[in-house]
Amino acid sequence: MAVYHVLVVHFPIALWLTAYLFIALRTFSDAEIFVRLQKSIWPLILLGSLAGAVAYILGLQIYPWSAITQSPLGRNHIMLATWTLSYWTVMGILGFRLRRHLFDGAQKWITFTVGSIGALVVVITGTLGGSLTGTPSLVTKSLSYVGWNVYTTFYVPTWMLVVFALGAILLVALGYIGRKYPD
Amino acid sequence: MRRTYLAVSVAIFASLLVAAWVTNDTGVKVNDPENNIFIPEELTTTLQVKASYDEENIYFRYRWPVDRPSIFHDVLVYRDGVWEREKGEEIGPSENFLNEDRVAMMIDDGSVPLFSRYGGYITIGDRLSTFTGAPEGGEERTKYLPETRSDPNNFDTVVPQSELDTLREAGYFIDLWQWRSSRSNPIGLGDDGLVAEERSGDQGTGPYYTNWDNELDQPRFMFDPQVTGQNSLNFDDVVAGNYNFDDVYYLSDQTAIAFDPNFEWKNGDTIPRRMLRDTQGSRADVVQPTASRWEDGYWDVTLQRKLDTGNVLDDKIFRDKGSYDLAFSVFKNASTMRWHYVSLPMSLGLETDAQLVAQKFTGENPGWEQDWTEVKMFYPGQISWGRLTDPNLHPGAEGIAQGVPVAYRHSEEQLALYGVEVEFADAIYNQWLWTLFLSLLLIVAMGININLLMIRREH
């Protein structure tokens, strides 16, 4: 199953990173071609999510769950793959709902920031997959220079989990409170 | 105003990601002596090795960094009329420096096929002593080789003696040389042992025995004051590291006399609990050219043995141009049991291509002109062979079944980190699952937030 995971996983990576490229181009330019390309962003993202879901399911078939979740690198790859898939799916839904408004005025910087985080997560997920198959890249090593050795499981302490939960509630609350204000 | 809310929301989201990054890998890995868990501050170290041989003997020279040498093992201390045993902690380092420093080397000649690929990992069986959950009491559960058990993952399933004998005659054992800073070094000896159905000494007698008379409940020997100028050591000085190689700090035939219970002993008087002696039989094969010394932050130890000891059931026989496999371990920071640093297997060639090449010399002693071979050593944690070969516990089990060497997939640093993670496997798994779930929640919340706050201005 590993070979099929590796085969399929190229599709979401290519689609999501292409979408990010279009987001970046549109953020920094109002040229007509980039305005046209902007229309393809959400389809690219959601196609990527579809391919990503297939790759995700295939990936989970490679090793028994009990084995892969005993491996720090395995856990990390699952964690990052879950983030990537969910993050870009959320981005795709936003793209579908907001369309061109993603790039209205200063909002384009929000879109660009959120998109950049997504691109970063894709790259880390990919490099963890490479490490898992025995081909660590410079990205793997670079992560340790900025505080995360990928051969240790990524998890946060319990108090941080509480902060996460509170943060999620706060974000939703800010959304509902903020939307009462006019544009 | 909505944009301000949106910007603040994105800032909160990004801040939470940064906070997660900063607090990652904290809050779980806490030492737990009750469950035999103590994580060393230093997970890797380096051993330097050289090897030389002549027509008769082979020599290995080892050098490794140690901040403070530990030259005592357990001792007997006089307190209020009673001699009490003081020994180092088994779990983690000894605060009183009562665990000796050591170096050990496993040797195989190809008779144990898995050894060249997985080294000492194959000897780590079912719940060995000081592993979390190891049965308490009884005799020490030592290393053993998989084929010596009908179920390699069950310590108690030793195959019949006739089968053990057949395995031994086929060379299915690992030769094990040891050097101990307290229990062999002072009289210039090493210790020759092996790992087969257990880790044990070769036939014969070892370099030490216990200095304790069970019937009289007192030491059997004390220092000879005429030779050493003292009847005993002082415990405070032992703990403070005030004895060095110029002092007589060990008991042997040359430095000890029979214990005198009528001597006016005072509190704090200390006598080593081990009496050193000449080794005999096959166990006497590994010796030192001279007693080793710690200097400038390094132990520098040389062990020698005959190329062919004639003891084919205990020793791996070295031959000119021969190829062998080695794995090393060193003990430092006054630690014992499994709190050591180990190496991956490496090849040895006697004037033939290998990771460590033994150079042939003529004359009385090796010149040691060759460069050191650096060996990365790592804390192994609690990784057993049963875990490594179980496809439900180790994603690489299939690779092991296919014979993929450990060094092909894992570095020493990686193995040290994995060894630590296994010690907290359940706790980390639970924390990881919660992190996964709540981070997912956070991503969805951010999506809802943006969807609510982004302005849809019609042009």
CB contact under 8 A, B436 and A110: no
- Domain boundaries, position A60: 2-154
User: A128 exposed, middle or buried (CB, 10 Å; 0-12, 13-18, 19+)?
Assistant: buried
pTM assigned to the model: 0.92
Q: Is residue A73 part of a domain?
A: yes
Q: Is A65 on the interface with B (CB under 8 A)?
A: no
pLDDT of the residue at B333: 92
Q: Which residue has the higher pLDDT, A1 or A174?
A: A174
Q: Which residues of chain A neighbour B26 with C-beta distances below 8 Å?
A: 156-157
Separation in Å, CA of A145 to nearest CA in chain B? 12
Instruction: State pLDDT tens for residues A106-165.
Output: 889 989 998 999 999 999 999 999 888 888 888 888 888 888 899 999 999 999 999 999
CB A55, CB A8: distance < 8 Å = yes
Q: pLDDT, tens digit, for every residue of B396-427? A: 999 999 999 999 999 999 999 999 999 999 99
Separation CA B401–CA B391 (nearest Å):
10
Euclidean distance between CA atoms B83 and B64, whole angstroms = 35
β-bridge mates for residue B348, sequence order? B324, B356
Tell whether A32 is covered by a domain.
Answer: yes
| Pick from A83, A110, A148: CB nearest B6 | A110
Mean pLDDT of all residues in A48-66: 96
B16 and A163 within 8 Å at the Cβ level: the answer is yes
Structurally, chain A folds into a number of domains equal to 1
Of residues B22, B394, B449, nearest to A172 (C-beta): B449
Residue B19 to residue A64, Cβ atoms within 8 A: no
Tell me which H or E stretch contains A163: helix A158-178
Note whether B164 and B200 are within 8 A (CB). Answer: no
Is residue A179 one of the residues assigned to a domain?
no
* Chain A: closest CA distance from residue B404 (Å): 12
Residue linked to tokens 């380096």: B46
Question: So what's the pLDDT on residue A162?
Answer: 97
| A60 touching chain B per CB within 8 A | no
Indicate whether A161 belongs to any domain.
Answer: no
Q: Specify burial of residue A165 (Cβ count, 10 A radius: 0-12, 13-18, 19+).
A: middle
* DSSP three-state, residue B410: coil
Residues 19-38 of B with CB under 8 A from A: 19-28
The answer to whether the beta carbons of residues B315 and B282 sit under 8 Å apart is yes
Burial of B170 (0-12, 13-18, 19+ CB in 10 A): exposed
Sequence-distant (≥ 6) Cβ neighbours of residue B173 within 8 angstroms: B111, B112, B145, B167, B194, B195, B196, B313, B314
- Nearest residue to B175 via CA among B327, B54, B287: B327
DSSP three-state, residue B233: strand
Q: Is B42 helix (H, G, I), strand (E, B) or coil?
A: coil
Label residue A135 exposed, middle or buried (CB < 10 Å: 0-12, 13-18, 19+).
Answer: exposed
Calculate mean pLDDT across residues A82-96: 93
Distance between B22 CA and the closest CA of chain A, angstroms? 7
Q: Do the chains contact at A171 and B28, CB–CB below 8 Å?
A: no
CA distance B17 to chain A (A): 9
Are A63 and B408 in contact (CB < 8 Å)?
no
Please indicate, yes or no, if residue A173 is contained in any of the structural domains: no
Contact B107, B326 (CB under 8 A): yes
> Can you give the pLDDT at residue B2?
82
Residue B180, SS3 per DSSP? strand
CB crowding B307-326: b at 16 or more within 10 Å, else e: bebebeebbbbbeeebebbb
- Listed as ranges, residues in chain B with pLDDT below 50 are none
Neighbours of B434 (CB within 10 A): 17
In this structure, what token pair is assigned to residue A22?
């279009």
Chain A partners of B395 at a C-beta cutoff of 8 Å?
63, 67-68, 70-71, 74, 132
In this complex, is the C-beta atom of B227 within 8 Å of any C-beta atom belonging to chain A? Answer: no
Residues in B closer than 8 angstroms to A161, CB to CB, are 434-435, 438
Q: What is the pLDDT of residues B230-248, one digit of tens each?
A: 999 999 999 999 999 889 9
Q: Does B240 touch chain A (CB under 8 A)?
A: no
Distances (CA, A) of B397 to A60, B357, B363: 17, 31, 49
Asked whether the beta carbons of residue B448 and residue A172 sit closer than 8 angstroms, the reply is yes
State the fold for domain B42-66+101-129+140-207+278-381: Immunoglobulin-like (2.60.40)
Q: Please count the residue pairs, one from chain A and one from chain B, whose beta carbons lie less than 8 angstroms apart.
A: 213
Cβ atoms of residues B20 and A117 within 8 Å: no
Nearest neighbour of A164 by CB, restricted to B6, B27, B438: B438
Give how far the C-alpha of residue B85 lies from the chain's centroid of Cα atoms, to the nearest Å: 24
Closest Cα to residue B211, out of B172, B171, B257? B257
B402/A contact by beta carbon, under 8 A: no
What is d(CA B41, CA B43) in angstroms, rounded to the nearest whole number?
Answer: 6
**Chain B residues within 8 A of A74 when measuring between CB atoms:** 395
Q: In sequence order, what DSSP letters do the residues of B189-225 get, joined into one string? A: B-EEEEESSSEEE-SSB-SEEE--BTTTTB-SEEE-H
**Among B331, B308, B393, which residue's Cα sits nearest to residue B178?**
B331
The domain segmentation of chain B, as residue ranges, is: 2-28+428-453, 42-66+101-129+140-207+278-381
Instruction: Quote the pLDDT of residue A3.
Output: 87
Angstrom CA distances, B15 to A109, A122, B153, B356, stand at 17, 19, 47, 51
Asked if residue B143 lies in contact with residue B124, where contact means CB atoms within 8 angstroms, the answer is yes
For residues A154 and A144, what is the distance between their CA atoms, to the nearest angstrom? 12
**What is the DSSP secondary structure assignment for residue B280, as one 8-state letter?**
B
In this prediction, residue A183 has a pLDDT band, given cuts at 50, 70 and 90, of low
Question: How many whole angstroms separate alpha carbon B285 and alpha carbon B307?
Answer: 10
Contact residues, chain A, for B445 at CB < 8 Å:
167-169, 171-172
Contact A183 B2 (CB under 8 A): yes
pLDDT digits (tens, 9 = 90+) for A59-83: 999 999 999 999 999 999 999 999 9
